[in-house]
Amino acid sequence: MFKKLLIANRGEIAVRIVRACAEMGIRSVAIYTEPDRFALHVKRADEAHFVGEDPLAGYLDPRRIVDLARETGCDAIHPGYGFLSENADFARICEDAGLAFVGPDASVIARMGDKTAARAAMRDAGVPVTPGSDGNLETCAEALALADTIGYPVMLKATSGGGGRGIRRCDTPAQLEQAWERVISEATKAFGSADVFMEKCVVEPHHIEVQILADSVGNVIHLFERDCSIQRRNQKLIEIAPSPQLTPEQRAYVGEMAVRAASAVGYENAGTVEFLVKGNEVYFMEMNTRVQVEHTISEAITGVDIVREQLRIAAGLKLAYRQEDIRHHGYAIQFRINAEDPKNDFLPSFGRITRYYAPGGPGVRTDTAIYTGYTIPPYFDSMCLKLIVWGMSWEETLDRGIRALNDMRLQGVKTTAPYYQEILRHPDFRSGHFDTGFVPGHPELLNYSVKRNPEEVALAIAAAIAAHAGL
């Protein structure tokens, strides 16, 4: 097993990895830029190193990170998610430096990061893909001709895209012409590539993803599926495991397809295979070659520590589980508590947290890097914590989610928590009937009122008085 590991990330995922290292007897090394000088991952790691004044540059410089890992005596690097986690060059530089990269091989990252190459690999493996372009599209005229063949609506996507960026739905030829240059521009700025492709738009499907684990000797297992249909503008808000909407036959099928997909490309470590499900139709969408934000709910229903398994696999050990060992129990829901104002078009609400109280009790988990007095910087993602609840039944999990959201106290910034309570109370959600059209289809849920208890009002008045007095 590794003796020392550098975490090439920040925030809650860095804290999550620090905790796994502590349990496994691995020394952890954090990195930070100036806005993160007082961040929790810096406080929790065994040691931390400054990588620059610029908020982002230090987290995005693969050679500097690898050099630091070698200087500090690390034998492995965990990239977390985001930043360099799906950067094939970073994985290759780690390998060249003799450091274990906690993730798949660089060639697999490159292949699955190229959406057209990934679609081709899935077709060859017998995994169903949505109708669309066989490769990258060169001109708008070519895109228009293909759209006429497969039928509108279509999705125009950046080949190297991810995270909901570089994607446009086009319902008409006019919309496709307008979107063409915008997607190319977004793709170039965000991913450094102008390549785009097209696929048929599956209207308001279920967004289903399957967590897989694979070791270096060809063993591949899945940890069942997560339902990520509650999303806004292709950004996930609430995730559920397992999906309350799949039949046992569908669950077995998507699990089998995910394992087949991973095996076909020689995958190693943790990964996620994403599908669109509409009725009895199942289509491969993409593969994420890293740990996912929502890995927590797969852990909750199976009892498997995914980050621990990542480290074991990267160290060359076989999977600790066989497929027949994996069972799912109950339901788990993850809420991405974002520092955003849902009532103001989800405008980011960065600032100082004046009070934070984490909910607890049976079946409640919080993964976060915030604390009372912490200032959420405006340079990074707006997610400030993940609230995870588990229950033996769907109804119990929903009720526990409402209770935990209500228990939580996060003051100083606006968050998405009150909005999530409205979603959990909606009859369609409670009955398990929802798809990717749920959020845009229910704008009335934004008409909630935030209830303040007397203590919160008193604190707000005291803060206002102190500010006025210059204290």
Residue 454 — pLDDT band, cuts 50, 70, 90? low
Angle between helices 11-24 and 306-314 (to 10 degrees): 70
409 classed as catalytic? no
β-strands 351-352, 364-368 pairing: unpaired
**Does 77 have pLDDT greater than 70?**
yes
Task: Say if residues 311 and 215 touch (Cβ distance below 8 Å).
Answer: no
**Does 191 have pLDDT greater than 90?**
no
Task: Say if residues 339 and 414 touch (Cβ distance below 8 Å).
Answer: yes
Can you tell me whether residue 470 is helix, strand or coil?
A: coil
End-to-end CA distance of the chain: 52
Query: Mean per-residue pLDDT for 397-419?
Result: 97
Residue 90 — pLDDT band, cuts 50, 70, 90? very high
Of 55-59, 160-164, 430-434, least confident by mean pLDDT is 160-164
pLDDT of residue 187: 85
The tokens of 344 are what?
A: 């103001």
CA 179 to chain centre: 26
Q: Rounded to whole angstroms, how far apart are CA atoms 134 and 176?
A: 18
Bridge partners of residue 200, in order along the sequence = 154
3-state SS of 217-284?
A: CCCEEEEEEEEEEEEECCEEEEEEECCCCCCHHHHHHHHHHHHHHHHHCCCCEEEEEEEEEECCEEEE
Of 17-31, 127-141, 393-407, least confident by mean pLDDT is 127-141
Can you tell me whether residue 348 is helix, strand or coil?
A: strand
**Does 239 have pLDDT greater than 60?**
yes
How many CB atoms lie under 10 A from the CB of residue 131?
A: 14
pLDDT of residue 188: 87
Phi, psi values for residue 357, rounded to 5°: -130, 120
Helix (H) or strand (E) holding 167: strand 165-170
**Does 471 have pLDDT greater than 90?**
no
Q: Rounded to whole angstroms, how far apart are CA atoms 205 and 338?
A: 24
pLDDT of residue 18: 98
CA 2 to chain centre: 26
Query: Mean per-residue pLDDT for 113-126?
Result: 93
Quote the mean pLDDT of the chain: 94
Task: Say if residues 229 and 432 touch (Cβ distance below 8 Å).
Answer: no
Task: Say if residues 69 and 6 touch (Cβ distance below 8 Å).
Answer: yes
Q: Rounded to whole angstroms, how far apart are CA atoms 408 and 424?
A: 16
pTM, to two decimals: 0.91
Q: Rounded to whole angstroms, how far apart are CA atoms 246 and 330?
A: 14
The Cα angle at residue 283 between residues 125 and 443, in degrees rounded to 5:
155
**Does 470 have pLDDT greater than 60?**
no
Task: Say if residues 308 and 317 touch (Cβ distance below 8 Å).
Answer: no
Bridge partners of residue 332, in order along the sequence = 241, 390
Phi, psi values for residue 342, rounded to 5°: -60, -30
Query: Mean per-residue pLDDT for 204-215?
Result: 97
**Does 469 have pLDDT greater than 70?**
no
Give 271-328 pLDDT, tens digit per residue: 999 999 999 999 999 999 999 999 999 999 999 999 999 999 999 999 999 999 999 9
Give 354-371 pLDDT, tens digit per residue: 999 999 999 999 999 999
β-strands 76-78, 4-7 pairing: parallel
The tokens of 41 are what?
A: 């991952």
| Residue whose C-alpha is closest to residue 419's, from 233, 230, 199 | 230
Kindly list the distances between the CA atom of residue 408 and the CA atoms of 4, 126, 157, 356, 383, in Å, as whole numbers in the listed order. Answer: 35, 46, 38, 8, 15
pLDDT of residue 193: 84
Residue 49: burial class (beta carbons within 10 Å; 0-12, 13-18, 19+): middle
Query: Mean per-residue pLDDT for 80-84?
Result: 97
Q: Which of 290, 312, 365, 400 is catalytic?
A: 290
Q: Is the dihedral of CA 228, 350, 445, 392 positive or negative?
A: positive
**Does 342 have pLDDT greater than 80?**
yes
Task: Say if residues 140 and 176 touch (Cβ distance below 8 Å).
Answer: yes
Q: Is the dihedral of CA 370, 374, 376, 380 positive or negative?
A: negative
How many CB atoms lie under 10 A from the CB of residue 53?
A: 10
Query: Mean per-residue pLDDT for 441-467?
Result: 71
Angle between helices 115-125 and 248-264 (to 10 degrees): 110
CA 272 to chain centre: 10
Query: Mean per-residue pLDDT for 26-53?
Result: 98
Q: Give the chain's domains with CATH numbers.
A: 4-102 (3.40.50.20), 131-200 (3.30.1490.20), 206-446 (3.30.470.20)
The Cα angle at residue 75 between residues 74 and 79, in degrees rounded to 5:
85
Q: Rounded to whole angstroms, how far apart are CA atoms 171 and 153?
A: 4
Task: Say if residues 31 and 59 touch (Cβ distance below 8 Å).
Answer: yes
Contacts of 227 (CB under 8 A, 6+ apart): 206, 207, 208, 239, 240, 241, 242, 243, 244, 245, 246
